[in-house]
Structure 1
Amino acid sequence: MSDAESEPDYALPDDLPAVREALVSWYEADHREFPWRETDDAYEILVSEVMSQQTQLGRVVEAWEAFLDRWPTPEALADADRADVVGFWTDHSLGYNNRAKYLHEAAQQVVTEYDGDFPTTPDELQELMGVGPYTANAVASFAFNDGDAVVDTNVKRVLYRAFDVPDDDAAFEAAAREAMPDGESRVWNNAIMELGGVACEQTPKCDAAGCPWREWCTAYETGDFTAPDVPTQPSFEGSRRQFRGRVVSTLKEYDELPLSKLGPRIRVDYAPDGEHGREWLEGLLSDLADDGLVDVTDRDGETVARLRR
C-alpha cells in the first residue's frame, strides 16, 4: 500500500493538546454522577458495563446497586444459583438473559482461573465469558487505566461531527486512538462518552451544555449536525426478548411447567395451534436452551420446561 493510500481521510486539529485539555477540563468540572464512576473495582465496573448494554443509565443505577448488594464480589456471584442471577436480570428488565448467564460464568472464571484477581488488559479480559472487545476495553480503561480508546455510538457521533471523520469503523477507531492522550484512558473515555451523552446528542446542545470543542467543531461551524447511521434498536414491547424474559420469570416462580400450562402464562392470546402457539413457544424454549438457561424434557407424554440450575 502506498503512503497516499494509507493516509487517513480526516484530520484532527493541529493544536491537539489544547483539544484534549479542553475536554478533560470540561468533564472534570461537571459531569453526571454514576456510582460506577466512583470506583476502580473491576468486578463492579464489569457489572455496570454488562447492564448498560441495552438499558438507559438512569435505570441501571438501581439495578447495579441491588445486584452488588446481593452479590458484592466475584466469589459471591460465582457461588450463586444461576437461576437466581437470571431471574434478577429478568426482574430488572436488563435485556438478553444470556448476559446474566455469561456474567455468572465470568465470575466463576475469575475465581477458578485467576484466583479472584481480574485480568487487567483488554486482551486478557476478553478471555472471560461474554466479554467482547468493547466491554474488555471499558473495564481495562475504567478499572486499571490501561485501555485503548473506547468507540461507542456516542463517540462516533462526536468524531463525525467535530472532526469530519467518515462513517467507517476503521476510521473511527483510528481517530479515537489518535485523539486520546497516552496513559489517560480512564478520564478520557469517560469524558468523550459524556460529551456525546449530554452535549452532542442526536439533537445537539452545544451552547446549553457548554461543549468544549465548539471552536474546533465542523458541525458547529457549518450548522450541519447530521450523524452516522445507527441501527435502530428493535422495540422491546412484544419482542422475542420480552417473551423470553417472561419464560424465565415464570419458570423461576413455578420451577417447572408443562408447555400446556407455560404458554397461557406467557401471553394471554396463547393458543396451541395459533400464530403464537406451541411452535412459537418451542422456538423460545429452544433459544433459551441454546443459551444454557432452560432444560426441556419429555415426561409422561408431556413436554416440560424448567430453569437450568
Structure 2
Amino acid sequence: MTDSDASGATAGVDDGDAPALPDDLGAVREALVDWYEADHRAFPWRRTEDPYEILVSEVMSQQTQLDRVVPAWEDFVEEWPTTAALADADRGDVVAFWSDHSLGYNNRAKYLHEAAGQVEDDYDGAFPETPAELRELMGVGPYTANAVASFAFNNGDAVVDTNVKRVLHRAFAVPDDDDAFARVASRVMPDGGSRVWNNAIMELGGVACGTTPRCDEVGCPWRRWCHAYETGDFTAPDVPEQPSFEGSRRQFRGRIVRLLGERDEMELDALGHRIRVDYAPGGEHGREWLRDLLSDLSDDGLVRIEEGSDRTVARLR
C-alpha cells in the first residue's frame, strides 16, 4: 500500500496502535532521512556493507556501550578480517579477546566463532542475505538477523529496539506493546529502504529522543508531528533493569576466562584466589561455588575441567 492509497491517519495499522500517526507519511520519512544524512554519529560499521563486519558490530553492541565497542570492533576485524580468518582461529583466543575487551557474555564470542565456521562450511563463504537465513547462524536471533539483513543487504524489516520503541511511543502515541511497536515500525518504514531507515530511526532514539529528550537542541525532525513534543508528556516505555554486573556470576565468569586466556591451565584453588579476595576453599565462595561457575563455562564450551589424582585444573577449550 502506498501513501496515496492510505485512508485516514492510521491506514494499515490497527486503530489502537498509533492514534497520532500522521496522514502524510512521505513527509515524515523524508524529514527523518534528510536529518540523518545531514549529520549522524560516524561509527565505523556504518561505513561498510560487509555483512561479517556488521555482524561483529551487532554482536558486540548487545548490552555494551558503543564508545567501548568502537575500539574493540576495530581490533577484532584487524585481527580476524574475514569469516575465513575467524573460523580458522583458535576459539580460546577469540574468547580471550572478548574478555580482555570487557565485552561481557563470553559465550557470544563462541557463537560468533561458530557462525563464521557456518558461513565458510555451509554457505561456501558467502553470507546468507535474508533475516530468515541469517537466523540459521549460531547465536543470531531475530533482531541481529534483521539488522545484518538491513545494513549489509538493504533487505531487512523494520528494526524495533529500545530506542525505536521510545521514539514511536512518544512521537505517535504507540502503546507499550511489542506487537503494536512492530506493526507501526513496519508501516512507517519506506519499502526497500531498510538500510538508511533503520540507521536513521535508531539514531533519532539515541541522539534526540533518549531518556532525557533533546528535541530542540539537536533539531529533531519529527517535532511538528510528535505527540510528546505537543503535549509535554515524554513518558517512555518501561525498560527492564539490567542486573548489576558488579559481584555477579557474569563478572566472575569473565575473570575466569581472562585468567585462563593468559595461562595454559590453572589449579582450582589458585584460580579461586585470583578471581576473588574472599575465596576460601571450604567457604561460601569456595570450591563448590567455583566448580559451579566452571561447570557453566564448560556447558557453554568455553572451559575444560581436568580431574587428576592429586589436583584439578581448568583450561580454555
Query: Which TM-score band (shorter chain)?
Result: over 0.9
Describe how 1:131-170 pairs up with structure 2 within 5 A. 131-170=140-179
- Which of 73, 92, 98 is residue 83 of structure 1 equivalent to? 92
TM-score normalised by structure 1 residue count: 0.96
Secondary structure at the counterpart of residue 139 of structure 2 = coil
In the other structure, the counterpart of 1:227 is: 236
Counterpart residue identity of residue 272, structure 1: P
1:55 Cα deviation from its structure 2 partner = 1.1
Q: Residue in 2 aligned with 1:256?
A: 265
Distance 1:200 1:6 in 2: 25
Q: Does the Cα contact within 8 Å between 2:50 and 2:152 map onto a contact in 1?
A: yes
Question: How many angstroms does 1:280 deviate by?
Answer: 1.4
Please name the residue that 1:109 is paired with: 118
Cα distance between partner residues in 2 of 1:18 and 1:7: 21
2:13 matches 1:18 = no
Distance 1:184 1:9 in 2: 22
The equivalences for 1:165-184 within 5 A come to 165-184=174-193
Superposed, 1:59-70 pairs within 5 Å as 59-70=68-79
The aligned residue for residue 288 of structure 1 is: 297
Q: Does 1:239 align with 2:236?
A: no
Residue 300 of structure 1 pairs with residue 314 of structure 2: no
Q: How does 1:166-205 map to 2 (within 5 A)?
A: 166-205=175-214
How big is the alpha-carbon RMSD for the aligned residues of Structure 1 and Structure 2? 1.2
Shifted more, 253-262 versus 185-194: the winner is 253-262
Could you say which residue in structure 1 is the equivalent of 2:17? 9
C-alpha deviation, 1:253, in angstroms: 1.5
Aligned-pair CA distance for 1:303: 2.4
Distance apart, 1:7 and its partner CA? 4.5
Q: Quote how far apart the aligned CAs of 1:263 are.
A: 0.4
Choose 5-14 or 122-131, whichever is displaced more.
5-14
Secondary structure of 1:274's match?
coil
Note the alpha carbon deviations across 1:130-175, whole angstroms, 9 max, x for none: 0000000000000000000000000000000000000000000001
Q: Compare 294-303 and 197-206 and name the one that shifted more.
A: 294-303
Deviates more, 1:144-153 or 1:55-64: 55-64
Residues 21-32 of structure 1 aligned to structure 2 (within 5 Å): 21-32=30-41
**Counterpart Cα distance in 1 of 2:285 and 2:176:** 40
Partner of 2:158, secondary structure, is: coil
Structure 2 runs not aligned, ≥5 long: 1-12
CA distance in 2, matches of 1:160, 1:6: 15
Deviation at 1:256, TM superposition (A): 1.3
CA-CA distance at 1:59 after TM superposition:
1.1
Stretches of structure 1 lacking an aligned partner (at least 5 in a row):
none
CA distance in 1, matches of 2:175, 2:305: 48
- Partner Cα separation in structure 2 for residue 209 and residue 237 of structure 1: 34
Shift of 1:305: 1.2
Give the residue type in structure 1 aligned to 2:85: A
In structure 2, C-alpha distance between the alignment counterparts of 1:208 and 1:201, rounded to whole Å:
12
Matches of 2:22 and 2:291, distance apart in 1: 56
Deviations 1:41-80 (A, max 9, x none): 0000000000000211111110000001100000000000
C-alpha distance in 2, partners of 1:263/1:38?
A: 43
Quote how far apart the aligned CAs of 1:6 are: 5.9
Of 198, 202, 225, 1:216 maps to: 225
Partner of 1:97: 106
CA deviation profile, 1:243-286 (whole Å, cap 9, x unmatched): 10110111112221221111001111111122221121111111
2:17–2:184: 8 Å Cα contact kept in structure 1?
no
Letter in 2 for 1:221: E
Q: Distance in 2 between matches of 1:302 and 1:6?
A: 65
